[in-house]
Amino acid sequence: MKSIIGKKVGMTSIFDNNGRQTAVTIIEAGPCVVTQKKTVDSDGYNAVQIAFGDKKEKHTLLSEKNHFAKANTPAKKFIKEIRDSETDKNIGDTISVDIFNEGDKITVVGTSKGKGFQGVVKRHGFHGVGEQSHGQHDRSRAPGSIGGSSYPARVFKGMRMAGRMGTDKVQMKGLTVVKIFPEKNYLLISGSVPGHNGSIVLIQK
């Protein structure tokens, strides 16, 4: 599995030779540094640790400095461990956008936008009670009944109710790499990429 860490920049549109418009998300992918390699002999499984984004020295622990010094690189903000990675890179090597090709189908993992505490209409798509009748007041977005009375005398687990919405780990599969700008480390991806502008995503092939 080929992987790289990136930052969501924003959205734009591109046009092909026939004038057809495609909405794309711009991802600043890498360059990432290989900071550790794990093997079955030493750790019990195979994995590669990659890091992205420089970190200020004053915010870096001594243990972190020593860890990154082994890869001969300054401290990084974001670290991901990729199990069963196909990369042949060694510690200290750089991973860039050239591991992908235009037209590749990829998977993007990120954190969805946080929407705070939301009601059942927005969170679960409830329709509400519909039209109001005599005596009803502000009930159109209410959840309605949530369980029995004396039996079972409790609310079942998993009941769809109001609560915190968003900030969940989301994996989007089958997205397409439309265009690559190696000089700027940009990937232009067609499809829904989770997270707000500036959020960190993991791109895998």
Tell me the domain boundaries of the chain: 119-131+138-165
Q: What is the mean pLDDT of residues 167-191?
A: 93
* The dihedral sign for the CA sequence 98, 100, 101, 103: negative
Cα separation values, 69 from 34, 54, 61, 122, 152, Å = 12, 13, 12, 48, 60
Please tell me the distance from the alpha carbon of residue 95 to that of residue 52, in angstroms, as a whole number: 10
Torsion of CA 173, 174, 180, 184, to 10 degrees: -10
pLDDT at 142: 87
Contact yes or no for 86/62 (Cβ under 8 A): no
The Cα 166–Cα 127 span in angstroms is 20
The pTM of this model reads: 0.83
- Phi first, then psi: give them for residue 89, nearest 5 degrees: -70, 150
Q: What is the mean pLDDT of residues 67-82?
A: 89
Binning pLDDT at 50, 70 and 90, where does residue 64 land? confident
SS3 71: coil
